[in-house]
Amino acid sequence: MIRVKIRSWTASFRYPTFQSGYQPTLPVPPLSTIQGLLSAAKGEIASFMEVPFVGYVFISEGKGIDLEKIYALGKPVTDVMKREVLLDNTLYLYLPDEWEEHFRKPRFQLLLGRSSDIATVEEIKKVELERKENVPIGGTIVPVSTGLPGIIHALVVEFDYSTIPRRAKLVRPFTILPFPRTDGQKKRQTSKNKIPYDSELGIGVWLHEGLHGEV
């Protein structure tokens, strides 16, 4: 498999239970954001039906508040909204080898959230992940069935872009696991089962494989 390292100054991932007013961000991207990245790189809408597996680790170095001007339908004046923004971000994507050509020359701009959250590919390398038990997982989302403690949300896996507006094609509950930085976080987010382990980053990588053929 390949590991694609993507960097951005800012990122913002929509918090599903907030519709208006103050907009917090999820600490890690949902799978729908990963679908957006794959689609932008390939130059056409990508479905997880054509991706046998995908894993990712997202690391953010901080968080701030951005003031965003919005235009509401039917209102002659603009509003200013406070939006949380993640700063100095790194996303590692784990994908089958055939995706290397798309990320070597992405067809469209890569984004980590809003149109202003521009991202660039910094590195693509082939990696082999050893399966190990008792390793921490983080910077990602995992199925609730893993039993790992964390915030649970129903998140969109994939959007259907054949309609306007787009509609959620598949929604599933996931446990959100921020990238662990302390020994306590690593201990809480440790998987007892054997999972792929990235020894260079010192983190377990959850590969979403069950998506293939189900969307």
- The topology under which CATH files domain 2-209 is Alpha-Beta Plaits (3.30.70)
> How far apart, in whole angstroms, are the C-alpha atoms of residue 3 and residue 18?
33
pLDDT of the residue at 18: 64
Q: Average pLDDT per run of 10 along the chain, which is 215 residues long?
A: 98 80 91 95 92 96 90 75 94 97 97 94 97 96 93 90 84 94 94 94 92 59
**What are the sequence ranges of the domains in the chain?**
2-209
pLDDT of the residue at 120: 97
> How far apart, in whole angstroms, are the C-alpha atoms of residue 70 and residue 111?
19
DSSP per-residue string spanning 33-86: HHHHHHHHHHTS---GGG-S-EEEEEEEEEEEEEEEEEE-TT-SSEEEEEEEEE
pLDDT of the residue at 8: 97
pTM: 0.91
